[in-house]
Structure 1
Amino acid sequence: MMRIDDMKIIEHQSIAANTFRLVLEGDLVNEISSPGQFVHVQTGSEAHLLRRPISISEFNQETKQCTLIYRAGGEGTKLLSKKQAGDKLNVLGPLGNGYSLPEQASSCLIVGGGIGVPPLYELSKQLTGAGHHVTHVLGFQNKEAVFLKGEFSELGLTFIATDDGTEGQKGYVTDVIEQLNTAFDIVYACGPTPMLRALQSRITNIPLFISLEERMGCGIGACFACVVKQTGNEQNYYKICCDGPVFAAKEVVI
């Protein structure tokens, strides 16, 4: 159930170039039902009325805490990065539909790009906890932008790709995937649209689930600001904020 909560900031720190880890505490966490959901955060400035959508990287309902990882790129998120432990943050959520876990034991490939990596961490934790085998391929611009490498490595084999080759393999996540001599049963991905489009064109023989990144207005499906065309009928659209953000790749035209 969606709710609005004034959540307490427990931790807030920089973990990579312009990237921050924010730990929040509040009753809203009890409503989170699946990895891949997100929240809409109020930055606290009258000059920035629209909330900022941020994916949930990790949550623990026993402690009522959740972790958000975001990039401070625009004025709103830069303002958010100035918040300190002990401050309150007005949060709307949880929003959207997340990832579903396989019913049978599976070999899973998780593919993340940039700020699309965070929601995949909770997904990987739940997959490994349920007995699935997980491999991660994560892409970043450069070494300074890499985060959660150690955390993912504790859950399964982890490969890093960077645009300039300063960390891991130089190139794209698709370059790494092509070199893996492994058969997978299912693929989960989140990242920039060009990355998702490349995966969609290459992975056609096994299920591929993708989480779409998009600018949002209301976050609850009322404003139609975030839409994606439906496969088979491009006159119809899904609303990413409430129909997604996670879709079977075969369902959408990206």
Structure 2
Amino acid sequence: MIKQEKMAIVSQIEIAKNIFELTVAGSLVQEMNEPGQFVHVRVADSFEPLLRRPISVAKIDKEASSFTMIYRSEGRGTSLLSQKTERDTLDVLGPLGHGFPVDEAGKKAYLIGGGIGVPPLYELALQLNAKGVETVHILGFESSEAVFYEDKFRALGDTHIATVDGSHGTEGFVTHILNGLPNDFDTYYSCGPTPMLEAVQWAYPEKKGFLSYEQRMGCGIGACFACVCRTTRSETDYIKVCSDGPVFPAGVVIS
């Protein structure tokens, strides 16, 4: 069930260059179940910026009634959000969308993320590990300054890091790592920039996969049609990333 709540900020820290980890607490957390869902956050108490910001859920802690978001501060809205402290509250709408299907992982899954697409894969890895699924994490970043959660992912399974400039891990993109890994997994889950998602689908055309799309959104609940994409089903078939997704089976969305 979708709820709107003024949630208490538990902590906010910068964990990489312009990357912030924000944890909030409130009853809304009890509605969160699927990894890959997101929330719509009002970044200021004024009407400017007007639109909420969609942010993915990185970790759910129902015992503490808290959840953690990770986001990049790069525009006016997220810059305002990064200035909030433990003394503040945050207006949150969620959980929104459909997440990753954990029951379809099989025995071994590849989790492939790029940049700010990495955060939702952490909660996914936690839930898959709890089900006894072996997870392998392939994560791409711009540079060493942008890398986050590497140790947390390593605690859950084999983890590979790529950086575009080669300053940490493998030089290049996640596909450079995938080319050297065995094809012995059952399912892949991926979140990140559209070119990366296209490359992952191309690399594994015969594998079962689920992709989380990053799309500009207005309302976050399917009312404004700002995030519409065409599908492969027909020339007249469209989906709304916010309410029908953001996670779709591989091969469905035409980006």
TM-score by length of 1: 0.98
Pairing 1:117–2:121 present: no
Counterpart AA for 1:25: A
Aligned length: 254
The whole-number CA distance in structure 2 between the counterparts of 1:105 and 1:136 is: 16
- Could you tell me which residue of structure 1 aligns to residue 225 of structure 2? 224
1:64-100 CA-partner distances (Å, limit 9, x unpaired): 0000000001100000000001310000000000011
Structure 2 residue 170 is the aligned partner of structure 1 residue 163? no
Match of 1:23 in 2: 23
SS at match of 1:165: coil
* Contact map agreement 2:105 2:186 (CA 8 A) in 1: no
Shift of 1:19: 0.4
Per-residue deviation at 1:102?
Answer: 3.0
Residue identity matched to 1:11: S
Alpha carbons 1:105, 1:131 under 8 Å: kept: no
For structure 2, the 5+ residue unaligned runs are none
The whole-number CA distance in structure 2 between the counterparts of 1:55 and 1:218 is 15
Unaligned runs of 5+ in 1: none
In structure 2, distance between residues paired with 1:86 and 1:98? 31
- Secondary structure, counterpart of 2:127 in structure 1: helix
Structure 1 residues 237, 63: closer, same or farther in 2, change over 3 A? same
Letter in 2 for 1:24: V
Who is 1:8 aligned against? Answer: 8
Question: Aligned-residue CA RMSD in angstroms?
Answer: 1.0
1:125-160 superposed Cα distances (whole Å, 9 cap, x missing partner): 000110001100000000000000000000000000
AA paired with 1:134? T
The more displaced of 241-250 and 99-108 is 99-108
Equivalence for 1:198: 199
Query: Offset at 1:250?
Result: 1.8
The corresponding residue for 1:140 is 141
- Give the alignment of 1:19-58 within 5 angstroms: 19-44=19-44, 45-58=46-59
Which has the larger displacement, 175-184 or 141-150?
A: 175-184
Q: Which one-letter code corresponds to 2:213 in the other structure? A: L
2:3 is matched by which residue type in structure 1?
R
Q: Which whole-Å CA distance do the structure 2 matches of 1:196 and 1:94 have between them?
A: 24
**What is the CA–CA distance in structure 1 between the aligned matches of 2:25 and 2:35, rounded to whole Å?**
17
Change (3 A) 1:35 1:194: same
Amino acid in structure 2 at the alignment position of 1:102: D
AA aligned to 1:234 is: E
Deviation for aligned residue 1:249? 1.2
**Residue aligning to 2:253:** 252
Q: How does 1:97-112 map to 2 (within 5 A)?
A: 97-102=98-103, 105-112=106-113
How many angstroms does 1:103 deviate by? 5.1
Shift, 1:182, TM fit: 4.3
Matches within 5 A, 1:67-86: 67-86=68-87
**Residue pair 2:38, 2:95 contacting (<8 A) in 1 also:** yes
SS of equivalent residue, structure 2 residue 242: helix
Q: What is the CA–CA distance in structure 1 between the aligned matches of 2:14 and 2:49, rounded to whole Å?
A: 22
Give the partner amino acid of 2:187: I
Query: Does the 8 A contact of 2:13 with 2:22 survive in 1?
Result: yes
Distance 1:71 1:103 in 2: 30
Provide the C-alpha distance between the structure 2 equivalents of 1:68 and 1:104, rounded to a whole number of angstroms: 24
| Secondary structure of residue in 1 paired with 2:4 | strand
| Aligned-residue offset at 1:47 | 1.6
**Matches of 1:179 and 1:168 in 2, distance apart?**
14
Q: Give me the TM-score of the superposition, normalised by structure 2.
A: 0.97
